[in-house]
Amino acid sequence: MSAHPPLHLAVALDGAGWHPAAWREPVARPHDLFTAGYWTDLVTEAERGLLDFVTFEDALGPQSSHPTEPDERTDQVRGRLDAVLVAARVAPLTRHIGLVPTVVAAHTEPFHISKAIATLDYVSAGRAGLRVQVTARQDDAGHFGRRTFPPLRVEDRDTPAGRELIADLFQEAADHIEVVRRLFRHDYTGTTLRDHLGLAHPDARPARTRRVAS
């Protein structure tokens, strides 16, 4: 009889907890949510509990009770610290637990993410991971001004246009992951972003390029 695959246990971290009223719990620390110590305490506790890894939730805009647009509520937690930076802050203070920050692929360049995750992998001695999300929220796109999305209500998700948009977003995320994976595997020591893109340098010396192989 073949052995069963190992079971990996993890916890998904988001603010005071995933329930909207979690911050009201007596043991919650809502005033500490934007401090490094709060996240360090959570992750070190998870490590003591022998969990395999933790994920850090993130988004390009504040949390909302509406799935596709912001709200004006003031009775729930709003705002997050950058997930990659939180993971990098916690990494030197932990020893074996995996650190998996969330990144939104729709507006984030793969090159920048690969460098951030490579840094996290270095400071954590090989414990970095990556959790990719997609977004079609118009307010998220407005932060960048490079692309627009049509309004996407919950009831629109099963329409032909809604299914096509969602499929396009997930295909873009798959491409994003593949580029990040390939960049992460290659050593670019001594080159610059201009080198990777094949652009001329200000001093007009020949641009160095390197193909990102599979």
**pLDDT, tens digit (0-9, with 9 covering 90-100), for 111-138:** 899 999 999 999 999 999 999 999 988 8
Calpha distance 96→126 (Å, rounded) = 9
**pLDDT, tens digit (0-9, with 9 covering 90-100), for 56-72:** 999 998 888 888 888 88
**Hey, what domains does the chain have and what are their CATH numbers?**
10-197 (3.20.20.30)
Q: How is 26-61 classified by DSSP, letter by letter? A: TT--GGGTTSHHHHHHHHHHHHHTT-SEEEE---SS
pLDDT score for 1: 53
